[in-house]
Amino acid sequence: MKNIKEKLAEAFRLYFILVTLITVLLLILGMTLDSDRTFGYEVFFSPLIYGAIGVVPVFFFGKDKEISMKKLLVQRFITLGFIEVVMLVLAFSASSIPTEKKSVVIGIAAGIVVVFLLSIAVEYIFELGEARSINKALAEYQKKRSGGRGLAKGII
């Protein structure tokens, strides 16, 4: 199981990805669905809060071993469901979000899915780069160990 330091590092990285994507989402939704509204500076808290909520599932799912694609998809679906429910509850309880407009609720729900998928894609890109770096270092190590007689091929 991942130790707390690794989980915190993963959560920290995911948090900043989410805050960035959520800020863009709020900009797009606000400009298209509620462009007449003006806010005070307290509105800057919302991406920070929503990002923190999006990071919560990191602490519930351990990645101590490889899991099947089916289990990964179920895990991702549960995570998305949790985030959708929490965000929509927050949207309906906030007086500043016009949830009486059907388009706003649909926009929020669809936006959450888009941000979720984009965050997975960004995480994948980071992990792919890390995997390539590890494979390169492993190939160099194997080359040194074998005296330069052959180069091991990396997985990625």
DSSP 92-104: HH-TTS-TTSHHH
State the pLDDT at residue 49: 87
State the pLDDT at residue 63: 61
State the pLDDT at residue 137: 92
pTM for the full predicted model: 0.72
* Each residue's pLDDT expressed in tens, for the chain with a length of 156 residues: 567 888 888 888 889 999 999 999 888 888 888 777 777 777 788 888 888 888 888 887 766 577 788 988 888 899 899 888 988 888 888 777 777 878 888 888 899 999 999 999 998 898 898 899 999 999 999 888 877 655 555 555
Residues 6+ apart with CB under 8 A from 18: 50, 51, 54, 55, 115, 119
**Rounded CA separation 31/67 (Å):** 41
Alpha-carbon distances of 122 from 15, 57, 91, 144, rounded to whole Å? 12, 17, 26, 33
